[in-house]
Amino acid sequence: MSVVDLSLWEPRTELGRMVKEGKIRTIDEIFANNYIIKEPEIVDILLPGLKQELLNVNLVQRQTHAGERNQFQAVVAVGNEDGYVGVGIGKARQVRQAIEKATREAKLNLVPVRRGCGSWKCSCDEPHSVPFVVRGKSGSVEITLIPAPKGVGLVAGDVAKAVLRLAGIKDVWTKTRGDTRTTLNFAMAVYNALRNTYYFKI
């Protein structure tokens, strides 16, 4: 991942200026105060060990008055494998630009993931799975993440495995419905499920 030079970076938001001045030192402070990340450099500075994985590249077409316009659509997931994950989509005429756009959006979509040991078969109190049953949906795809005991691994499709691994989930059972061959919806459904680990119903 790219490393930001603080001397060259000119923040455009109040949060960016606070990060550059050292008033905010950890990514946890941002989410604790409900700040919105609008600059990917903030994530690069506060999470230097962020990893990324290209989930899919697809050729898409758009009809214009001049004819068909071809673009590449990239889906990228980022995470530190320790409780933070993001998924982004990017479109461009060149594959590299599409991947860069998707990576930038994934950083802006970064969310914290609550982990735990919600399986009654394990009860080890280590954050290796999800703390409770959680669901996510995107398009026709619905996924349910079920806590699993240690040693089970990631019982999921390849796309879901990549997103879960980047989030730091090591053991989980999954149940899916819908067209999981659509990589974008599948990845976003898993992302929404992980984001819902911090969702409370009142």
Q: Tell me the per-residue pLDDT of 102-154, one tens digit each, with 9 for 90 and over.
A: 999 999 999 999 998 877 777 787 889 998 999 999 999 999 999 999 889 99
Please tell me the distance from the alpha carbon of residue 182 to that of residue 197, in angstroms, as a whole number: 24
Mean pLDDT over the full length of the chain: 90
Please tell me the distance from the alpha carbon of residue 23 to that of residue 165, in angstroms, as a whole number: 31
- What is the location of CATH 3.30.230.10 in the chain? 134-197
pLDDT at 74 (0 to 100): 96
- What is the location of CATH 3.30.160.20 in the chain? 1-48, 51-112
pLDDT at 199 (0 to 100): 73
Amino acid at 157: G
pLDDT at 171 (0 to 100): 93
Confidence of residue 202 (pLDDT cuts 50, 70, 90): very low
- Fold of the 134-197 domain: Ribosomal Protein S5; domain 2 (3.30.230)
Classify 51-112 by CATH class.
Answer: alpha beta
The DSSP annotation for 8-73 comes to T----SHHHHHHHTTS--SHHHHHHTTPPP--HHHHHHH-TT-EEEEEEEEEEEEEETTEEEEEEE
Confidence of residue 198 (pLDDT cuts 50, 70, 90): confident
Question: Which of 2-16, 20-34, 156-170 holds the top average pLDDT?
Answer: 156-170
The pTM (predicted TM-score) of the whole model is 0.89
Classify 1-48 by CATH class.
Answer: alpha beta
Beta-bridge mates of residue 87: 77
